[in-house]
Amino acid sequence: MEIRLKRVYDPPEPGDGQRFLVDRLWPRGLSKDALSLDGWLKELAPSDALRRWFGHEPARWEEFRKRYRQELVQKAESLARLRAAARRGTITLVYAARDPLHNQAVVLREVLLESPAPTAAPTAPQPRPGPTTAQARSRSRPRRPAGRTTPKNQRPREITGP
Protein backbone atom coordinates (compact mmCIF):
# COMPACT_ATOMS: atom_id res chain seq x y z
CA MET A 1 0.00 0.00 0.00
CA GLU A 2 1.62 3.23 -1.16
CA ILE A 3 0.30 6.53 0.19
CA ARG A 4 2.02 9.68 -1.01
CA LEU A 5 1.72 13.22 0.34
CA LYS A 6 1.83 16.29 -1.87
CA ARG A 7 1.09 20.01 -1.59
CA VAL A 8 -1.72 21.32 -3.75
CA TYR A 9 0.72 23.72 -5.38
CA ASP A 10 2.94 20.90 -6.64
CA PRO A 11 1.99 19.69 -10.15
CA PRO A 12 0.27 16.30 -10.52
CA GLU A 13 2.44 13.45 -11.76
CA PRO A 14 1.48 10.16 -13.43
CA GLY A 15 2.77 8.16 -10.44
CA ASP A 16 0.40 9.93 -8.02
CA GLY A 17 -2.34 7.38 -8.58
CA GLN A 18 -5.66 8.57 -7.18
CA ARG A 19 -5.41 12.07 -5.70
CA PHE A 20 -7.54 13.17 -2.75
CA LEU A 21 -7.68 16.65 -1.23
CA VAL A 22 -7.79 16.27 2.58
CA ASP A 23 -8.37 19.92 3.56
CA ARG A 24 -11.68 21.22 4.88
CA LEU A 25 -11.30 24.47 2.90
CA TRP A 26 -10.68 24.71 -0.84
CA PRO A 27 -7.16 26.06 -1.52
CA ARG A 28 -7.04 29.69 -2.63
CA GLY A 29 -6.42 30.49 -6.24
CA LEU A 30 -6.68 26.96 -7.60
CA SER A 31 -9.29 25.51 -9.92
CA LYS A 32 -10.56 21.94 -9.81
CA ASP A 33 -8.91 21.25 -13.16
CA ALA A 34 -5.52 22.46 -11.93
CA LEU A 35 -5.58 20.03 -9.00
CA SER A 36 -6.59 16.98 -11.03
CA LEU A 37 -8.35 15.35 -8.06
CA ASP A 38 -10.24 12.10 -7.72
CA GLY A 39 -12.01 13.33 -4.62
CA TRP A 40 -12.27 15.99 -1.93
CA LEU A 41 -12.43 14.28 1.46
CA LYS A 42 -13.30 17.25 3.66
CA GLU A 43 -15.06 14.88 6.08
CA LEU A 44 -11.63 13.45 6.95
CA ALA A 45 -10.07 16.87 7.56
CA PRO A 46 -9.63 18.14 11.13
CA SER A 47 -12.59 20.02 12.60
CA ASP A 48 -12.59 23.80 12.22
CA ALA A 49 -11.96 24.19 15.96
CA LEU A 50 -8.95 21.85 15.90
CA ARG A 51 -7.56 23.42 12.73
CA ARG A 52 -7.78 26.92 14.24
CA TRP A 53 -6.29 25.79 17.57
CA PHE A 54 -3.33 24.12 15.84
CA GLY A 55 -2.54 27.07 13.57
CA HIS A 56 0.30 24.98 12.06
CA GLU A 57 2.51 25.71 15.06
CA PRO A 58 5.11 22.94 15.45
CA ALA A 59 5.02 23.37 19.25
CA ARG A 60 1.41 22.08 19.21
CA TRP A 61 2.12 19.19 16.84
CA GLU A 62 2.02 16.27 19.29
CA GLU A 63 -1.22 17.45 20.88
CA PHE A 64 -2.70 18.08 17.42
CA ARG A 65 -1.81 14.54 16.34
CA LYS A 66 -3.51 13.11 19.43
CA ARG A 67 -6.69 15.19 19.03
CA TYR A 68 -6.93 14.60 15.29
CA ARG A 69 -6.59 10.84 15.77
CA GLN A 70 -9.46 11.03 18.26
CA GLU A 71 -11.57 12.80 15.66
CA LEU A 72 -10.71 10.18 13.05
CA VAL A 73 -12.09 7.42 15.27
CA GLN A 74 -15.54 8.85 14.51
CA LYS A 75 -14.84 8.66 10.75
CA ALA A 76 -14.27 4.90 10.50
CA GLU A 77 -16.45 4.45 7.41
CA SER A 78 -14.69 7.17 5.40
CA LEU A 79 -11.30 5.86 6.54
CA ALA A 80 -12.23 2.36 5.43
CA ARG A 81 -13.16 3.60 1.94
CA LEU A 82 -9.88 5.51 1.63
CA ARG A 83 -7.90 2.53 2.94
CA ALA A 84 -9.63 0.31 0.34
CA ALA A 85 -8.60 2.74 -2.42
CA ALA A 86 -5.01 2.59 -1.13
CA ARG A 87 -5.07 -1.21 -1.24
CA ARG A 88 -6.13 -1.11 -4.89
CA GLY A 89 -3.22 1.14 -5.88
CA THR A 90 -1.19 4.24 -5.11
CA ILE A 91 -3.04 7.21 -3.63
CA THR A 92 -1.82 10.74 -2.95
CA LEU A 93 -3.15 12.84 -0.08
CA VAL A 94 -3.11 16.45 -1.24
CA TYR A 95 -2.92 19.29 1.31
CA ALA A 96 -2.43 23.08 1.28
CA ALA A 97 -0.28 23.55 4.41
CA ARG A 98 3.18 25.04 3.93
CA ASP A 99 4.89 22.70 6.40
CA PRO A 100 5.34 19.23 4.88
CA LEU A 101 6.10 17.65 8.28
CA HIS A 102 3.35 19.16 10.45
CA ASN A 103 -0.04 18.85 8.74
CA GLN A 104 -3.14 16.67 8.81
CA ALA A 105 -2.09 14.62 5.77
CA VAL A 106 0.90 13.28 7.73
CA VAL A 107 -1.37 12.05 10.53
CA LEU A 108 -3.97 10.69 8.13
CA ARG A 109 -1.27 8.72 6.30
CA GLU A 110 -0.04 7.25 9.60
CA VAL A 111 -3.57 6.16 10.50
CA LEU A 112 -4.19 4.61 7.08
CA LEU A 113 -0.95 2.62 7.20
CA GLU A 114 -1.79 1.18 10.60
CA SER A 115 -3.96 -1.89 10.68
CA PRO A 116 -7.64 -0.97 10.86
CA ALA A 117 -9.15 -0.56 14.30
CA PRO A 118 -10.26 -3.90 15.68
CA THR A 119 -13.95 -4.49 15.41
CA ALA A 120 -16.04 -7.15 17.00
CA ALA A 121 -14.99 -10.35 15.31
CA PRO A 122 -17.83 -12.21 13.68
CA THR A 123 -18.72 -15.22 15.73
CA ALA A 124 -20.56 -18.36 14.83
CA PRO A 125 -24.17 -18.35 15.95
CA GLN A 126 -24.45 -19.81 19.40
CA PRO A 127 -27.01 -22.58 19.89
CA ARG A 128 -29.96 -21.37 21.85
CA PRO A 129 -30.78 -23.44 24.88
CA GLY A 130 -33.88 -25.51 24.31
CA PRO A 131 -36.97 -25.28 26.47
CA THR A 132 -37.27 -27.34 29.58
CA THR A 133 -39.62 -30.28 29.43
CA ALA A 134 -42.35 -28.36 31.24
CA GLN A 135 -42.03 -25.42 28.86
CA ALA A 136 -42.11 -27.72 25.85
CA ARG A 137 -45.31 -29.37 27.09
CA SER A 138 -47.02 -26.05 27.75
CA ARG A 139 -46.20 -24.81 24.26
CA SER A 140 -46.92 -27.99 22.40
CA ARG A 141 -49.46 -27.73 19.62
CA PRO A 142 -51.53 -30.45 18.15
CA ARG A 143 -49.82 -32.00 15.19
CA ARG A 144 -51.22 -31.75 11.72
CA PRO A 145 -52.66 -34.92 10.31
CA ALA A 146 -50.20 -36.67 8.05
CA GLY A 147 -52.42 -36.51 4.97
CA ARG A 148 -53.12 -32.78 5.12
CA THR A 149 -51.60 -30.89 2.19
CA THR A 150 -53.30 -27.51 2.52
CA PRO A 151 -51.34 -24.86 4.38
CA LYS A 152 -52.89 -23.65 7.63
CA ASN A 153 -53.73 -20.20 6.34
CA GLN A 154 -55.78 -21.54 3.39
CA ARG A 155 -59.14 -23.16 3.54
CA PRO A 156 -59.49 -26.48 1.75
CA ARG A 157 -61.26 -26.30 -1.58
CA GLU A 158 -64.80 -27.42 -1.47
CA ILE A 159 -65.47 -30.33 -3.72
CA THR A 160 -68.88 -30.31 -5.21
CA GLY A 161 -70.18 -33.48 -6.62
CA PRO A 162 -72.68 -34.23 -9.37
What tens digit of pLDDT does each residue of 72-106 get?
999 999 999 999 999 999 999 999 999 999 999 99
CB distance 3 to 76 below 8 Å:
no
| pTM of this prediction exceeds 0.75 | no
- Please, which residues bridge with residue 92 across strands? 4, 19
pLDDT value at residue 136: 53
Alpha helices in the chain (DSSP H): 32-35, 48-54, 61-73, 76-88, 104-113, 133-139
Who contacts 5 (Cβ-Cβ below 8 Å, separation ≥6)? 92, 93, 95, 100, 105, 106, 109
> For 50-64, how does the pLDDT look when each residue is reduced to its tens digit (9 = 90+)?
999 998 889 999 999
The mean predicted confidence, pLDDT, of the chain is 81
